[in-house]
Amino acid sequence: MVIFPNCKINLGLNIVNKRADGYHDIETIFYPLPFCDALEIITNPEHNSTATVQFSATGLKIDGAIENNLCVKAYNLLKKDFPLLPAIQMHLHKVIPMGAGLGGGSADGAFTLLLLNKKYQLNLSTAQLINYALQLGSDCPFFIINKPCFGKGRGEILEQIDLQLSAYKFVIVNPGIHINTAWAFSQITPAPPAQSLKENILRPVETWKNNLVNDFEKPVLQQYPQLQVIKDQLYNSGAAYAGMSGSGSTFFGIFKKTQTVITHFPPEYYVKEIPAL
């Protein structure tokens, strides 16, 4: 069985509070984009295999030990509660850039839960899947719903919103800079937002430039001034709104669907035009 984990962007991101457990309370709009990895899971035909999950990957190089991969962690999380879950072979084709604020790894982990639930008829509810996803990471619960949502708490308190952007398209630009999320959080002084993100997101896209704020942008742009050039060029190319997703380093521009977008980014940058959902 094959599934296609998609990425997300953040339309505004406010760091509201530092919690006693070390995490932060946020407010953000999660918006899914049809830019996807590919994940395949089959039952392992080698019944005598000592490994319960055999993981392989192609595409972008994935650093780190296999046991730390969120797809493998998702399988092991379910295996604890469903010991009859069979041994599997799992293959991930990685397309979404990593450490880029697009939530690709989180999507892979959450979609693993969704695929295993469907393939092996575990009959888990959405609420149960969200609970498992939160154990993988703060962005993971969103991908269980995978529709435009207002997110609070660590990102797991999700409220679907009616955000219609079908008249627009997105251009994402990733310069290949890996932003450490823990470092990004350490640069923020949490505070309640000056304006209501839920109200501002329902206003015309053209007003977002003055109303939507990603709290990570200021420290990240100070540390990596070349990223300001990306944002400026997106606006110079006619974007109605341009911003950074998550803790970066990916920037996105929102353009009218019929608009021809001409950009001149360095050849090593990853640039992709994506339709809105």
pLDDT, position 48:
57
73 sits in which H/E element: helix 70-81
pLDDT digits (tens, 9 = 90+) for 48-65: 556 789 999 999 999 888
Which residues in the chain are classed under CATH 3.30.70.890? 168-275
Measured distance CA(218)–CA(181) in Å, rounded: 14
DSSP assigned state of 21: T
168-275 homologous superfamily = GHMP kinase, C-terminal domain (3.30.70.890)
Work out the pLDDT band at 102, boundaries 50, 70, 90.
very high
Task: Return the active site residues.
Answer: 8, 139
Q: Is the peptide bond before 249 cis (omega within 30 degrees of 0)?
A: yes
Look at residues 151, 203, 159 and name the one whose alpha carbon lies nearest to residue 16. Answer: 151
What six digits make up the tokens of 151? Answer: 């997110």
Q: Tell me which CATH code domain 2-160 carries.
A: 3.30.230.10
- Per DSSP, the residues of 76-144 read HHHHHH-TTPPPEEEEEEE-SPSSSSS-HHHHHHHHHHHHHHHHTT----HHHHHHHHHHH-TTHHHHH
**Is the distance from CB of 119 to CB of 3 less than 8 angstroms?**
no
Phi then psi for 39, rounded to 5 degrees? -130, 125
Report strand pairing: 157-160 vs 168-174.
unpaired
Write the pLDDT tens digit of every residue in 142-163.
999 999 999 999 999 999 999 9
Q: Mean pLDDT over residues 40-53, rounded? A: 80
Element (H, E) at 74: helix 70-81
**Which long-range contacts does 235-241 make (Cβ < 8 Å, 24+ apart)?**
235/209, 237/171, 237/261, 237/262, 237/263, 239/171, 240/168, 240/205, 240/206, 240/208, 240/209, 241/205, 241/206, 241/208, 241/209, 241/212
pLDDT for 46 equals 74
170-176 mean pLDDT:
96
Strands 88-94 and 53-59: parallel
Q: Are 273 and 169 in contact (CB under 8 A)?
A: yes
Structure tokens at 194: 């000056």
Query: Which sign does the torsion angle of CA 101, 105, 111, 117 carry?
Result: negative
Q: Which residues of 91-127 are buried (b: 16+ CB within 10 A; e: fewer)?
A: bbbbbbbebbbbbbbbbbbbbbbbbbbebbeeebeee
177 touches 249 (CB < 8 A): yes
Over residues 127-151, mean pLDDT: 96
pLDDT of residue 75: 97
Domain with CATH 3.30.230.10 in the chain: 2-160
